[in-house]
Structure 1
Amino acid sequence: MQSKLFSIVSTIVVFLFIISSCAMYETSSTNENAAEDNSLLSSIITKQDNKIFDCKEKSLKNIEKFLYSLEKEKVRRISNLVSKDFTLSVTGREGTVPFAGTYYGKKALEQYLDNFLSSLKIKNIDLQYNIIDNDNINTHLNLVAKVLSTGKSFDLEYIFQWQLDKNGLIKYLKLYYDTYAFYKAYQNGGETYISDIKGTNDFQLINVNFDSEEMAKTLYQKFFTEGDLPGVINMLDTNVLWVMKGDPTIISYANAYSEVDGFMQFVYNLLGTCTMAAMPEFFYYVKQDNKVDVHLIEQWICNSTGKLMKFEIIHSFSFTADGKIKEFKSYNDTYEGYYGFTQ
């Protein structure tokens, strides 16, 4: 099975991936007096290295207050945690995926929150972990809520991508999640409990003696630029879990793939149904210890429909202590995949 897939996939990769330079670049990215003592803050403290927490305490407390206030539906309290030039960006097709779009300033944030929170009832927000990289912090969490208009519940993983100013106020927030699953929760009919594809519960950050950002860049170089599938496979842990969010009944490559054979099946599913339309655009990396999140844009054409799909994505990597990829998650705009694969 492995040798057969390897031969097929290697041929496809060499055929499709033209050797070229892949530009990777980075963009660099009042305070309330007393911190509230609650469970989310305790989770943040216990999940972060104490030294890092000491220098980012104000920022983390404001992020924690934001999440706590979101869960408790305290809109005005959230507004006090952001800067005057605050921007919120919610991934998804505007006008189709509910609440997708860009919101500028405190008033726009308050309007978004009023509309969002009045449409559903949040059951819980479960913090998974934070990645802290200077003024950039990525919070990985799971949100469970019930949509009031349809009676449907959704259970989705999110990445909240924050940027903070020198005072610890939140100046930018972008949300990444399974946009198609969220869209379905607001449509009448069909399943009443909607969950995305999840990975493991290994949310621990571990100190390592390598640069996780450079490891991710090496993988992209091998996969996209060189078409070096054996080189990519050599970077994987034998028990790797490769997670592509989306609806596997519609999108050919969406699934959770286990071990090296599973990864090869993913590549076969992807390249057997889609053609890369352009080399990826890489924007920035947020890293800490053995984890790194990568913000990029990919463009693919669905072979069966001929539609162009443009994905804004966070790739989330987790490495073993010896530098092998043990888990990968693609937080891609899954509604874009749904659009591309349907006539």
Structure 2
Amino acid sequence: MRAIVVNETTRELRIGEVPTPQPGTGEVLVKVAAAGVNRADLLQRRGLYPPPPGVTDIIGMEVSGTVEAVGEGVDGHAPGDTVCALIAGGGYAEYAVVPAGQLLPVPDGLDTVDAAALPEVACMVWSNLVMEAGLGGGETVLIHGGGSGIGTHAIQVAKALGATVAVTVGSEAKAQRCRELGADIVINYHEQDFAEVLAGRVDVILDIIGAKYLQRNVSALAVGGRLVIIGMQGGVAGELNIGMLIGKRCRVIGTNVRNRPLTGPGSKAAVVAQVQEHVWPMIAEGTVRPVISARLPLADAEEGQALLDSADSVGKVLLLPA
């Protein structure tokens, strides 16, 4: 099959021929219609975010497509089913193997290709805002990177939960799109300090930046606030005023989805099941929709990653093998 491989010397992406994977026990083989591009893919390409042990080194953590074959012990899925899926690797290819517990049906009313924009962001947003931070109606949430794939999805889910939504963005184009999606407070970080604008007012923060924002995030939190850190774009080590943290009775939570166990409490399968139960109805009724910046051929993976990493992209970038 064709897949994107990384040149070990130059770190460039190119199309190559690799063996087609086969599903093992409890796994499903999916013929890929589209793969989502995520910021973690850029880190993996640079050798900074390797896949978990035993997982293919082909980049790509979410796909949509058609079930091609099922392994032993798989019930409820059959060849021909249209699905999307959360995976730990292997998405930038014509075929991908998926643990059965990480498959999702394509939501009603959504194109199969566009469904590739959902699994990673839906699982990240729901697991962190709701399962970890317990965001509820009437609370205020701050979403850093409001114009990103995670950000555009999180705005919609948080609004559906009845929260007041604040976001940070880096351009007026992204600010306008966030407002269209329902953001109540939009802060251009080139012009304003979010910690000053929101001082002591935020119940939950979803943070992709990390160290650079650590102290200011705590300043923005209200009493009992929860800071969930899911990224390290601003570094891995920062200073924190412990007195402020204690005084506000706040919590700082660090999580990811990729390295969770496949099954059991807190597993990927548990997250996927909650997403299907709670988020998929929002998508079916049109309350939440995927926001897609571009759909590109698989061979243009280099361009797709560059677009995701630019100021021009709002939402998700998809790669199409066909």
TM-score of the superposed pair, with normalisation by structure 1: 0.28
The higher radius of gyration belongs to 1
TM-score of the superposed pair, with normalisation by structure 2: 0.30
Greater strand percent: which structure? 1
